[in-house]
Structure 1
């Protein structure tokens, strides 16, 4: 097994990638960006984000020109300046981690998307959260994510930039593979069922108290996953086997063994 990158080398990569897109702690965004983008300005060849039909610069020119019909109006060159996402209020390494993830979305053919206004709100909540790193906070406890419990053993979390960033930084640390997930007692299905839309589903084994039974259930669900069993059916299996664990506790006591 390859050695995992050390903390110092990971921080170096994060800082260097962040510095590629951060200027004075802000990231310039255009309409076509997956993160921070929006509706493109209607002016010919302009890549900036429209407030309504036009970007702010072209809107001011259009007003100064007497509000002509857009089809007959020469908008001139693209205005200087663009919208930015300020990360100045975020601590390091969270600032670098988020910038790193945004940089990756610009290379990804199928990235998560978030409009500029939503992204600005997202950053404000991060600033107020007191969280300093994606790696230092349990994913299921993020204050900016609404969790919808569906049944015992499962939870749905809204996927998007946050989960994308967590996965990217985990991979940078040498973690986040399928085998890494199998060793945990809470599985993020997006990490074990690759290339499938999972709606943020989580399989939770923590309610199965006996380690020997929990390990057996995890092995069974792992086999289900590897044989392309449906996610819904795996959820049902976890629920059923968790109930079996509870029944075993009631009948045989907390120290029951397979021989019981």
Structure 2
């Protein structure tokens, strides 16, 4: 990149490349030339808030030492974020990010985006029962004191109470499930319990029952027959 004469900014080849690129900022062009052909992560094209969130997500991954973060994967995530035209990872919910990734041509690694988003959300809201309990979908990796079995694979497990349509049954189910988890119940058993409540919720909707006072032994027997049919 040595200057050949005083009329040019760079050497002949880089001068031509610089002019072809539209004469960008000289310092930026020099950095671009230095990283060509190298494994690098370039966050300069992101909005300020989004850039900080990506940096925080990268730091959290490095601290966790759970998996590698190839630069090409991060750059695909950067392109996804730019295509989504957001100022923050929190501007879209997880399902919306997954939908955006599915629609993209390059099929970027959505896992990094989701992990970075959750890290930022945890930084903003905190973690623990106070945060998760009001939610209708519990993210188990954010809950302390849960007995984890190797077969459970709980790194991204959810307990979905949003499929229970009756508010009173959903609230009772949450209280019951929290008590079971707090006493050492496995995640698999807790999920089975929530699935059973979801099935019961579907039966109640089918039977036209919308109050706890209407639940009695004959109704439960009807439910057992409905499940077996």
Q: Indicate the TM-score class for this superposition, using the shorter chain for normalisation.
A: 0.5 to 0.7
Higher RCO structure (Cα 8 Å, ≥6 apart): 1
- Give the Cα–Cα distance (whole angstroms) in 1 for the partners of residues 73 and 110 of structure 2: 14
Q: Aligned match of 1:257 in 191, 211, 219?
A: 211
Q: Counterpart of 2:154?
A: 198
Q: Counterpart of 2:122?
A: 171
1:228 paired with 2:179, answer no
Q: Counterpart of 1:131?
A: 86
Q: Aligned match of 1:122 in 63, 68, 77?
A: 77
Q: Secondary structure of 2:154's match?
A: coil
Deviations 1:200-249 (A, max 9, x none): 11221112122111000011111222122222222221111011011112
Deviations 1:114-160 (A, max 9, x none): 212222222222221233312222123323667xxxxxxxxxxx995
- Give the Cα–Cα distance (whole angstroms) in 1 for the partners of residues 101 and 186 of structure 2: 25
Q: TM-score, normalised by structure 2?
A: 0.62
Q: Cα gap change, 1:159/1:137 in structure 2, threshold over 3 Å: closer, same or farther? A: closer
- Give the Cα–Cα distance (whole angstroms) in 2 for the partners of residues 101 and 141 of structure 1: 19
- Give the Cα–Cα distance (whole angstroms) in 1 for the partners of residues 145 and 47 of structure 2: 32
In structure 1, runs of 5+ residues without a counterpart are: 1-22, 25-55, 57-81, 147-157
- Give the Cα–Cα distance (whole angstroms) in 2 for the partners of residues 90 and 177 of structure 1: 31
Q: Secondary structure of 1:187's match?
A: strand
Specify the structure having the higher radius of gyration (Cα).
2
Deviations 1:181-214 (A, max 9, x none): 1110011111125685514112211121221110
- Give the Cα–Cα distance (whole angstroms) in 2 for the partners of residues 116 and 141 of structure 1: 24
Q: Secondary structure of 1:89's match?
A: coil
Q: Counterpart of 1:187?
A: 138
- Contact 1:112/1:160 (8 A) holds in 2: no
In structure 2, runs of 5+ residues without a counterpart are: 1-26, 29-36, 103-108, 215-229
Q: TM-score, normalised by structure 1?
A: 0.56
The number of residues matched between the two structures is 170
- Give the Cα–Cα distance (whole angstroms) in 1 for the partners of residues 94 and 144 of structure 2: 18
Q: Counterpart of 1:43?
A: none
- Contact 1:113/1:160 (8 A) holds in 2: no
Deviations 1:16-35 (A, max 9, x none): xxxxxxx97xxxxxxxxxxx
Q: Cα gap change, 1:160/1:100 in structure 2, threshold over 3 Å: closer, same or farther? A: same
- Give the Cα–Cα distance (whole angstroms) in 1 for the partners of residues 72 and 145 of structure 2: 30
- Give the Cα–Cα distance (whole angstroms) in 2 for the partners of residues 167 and 224 of structure 1: 26
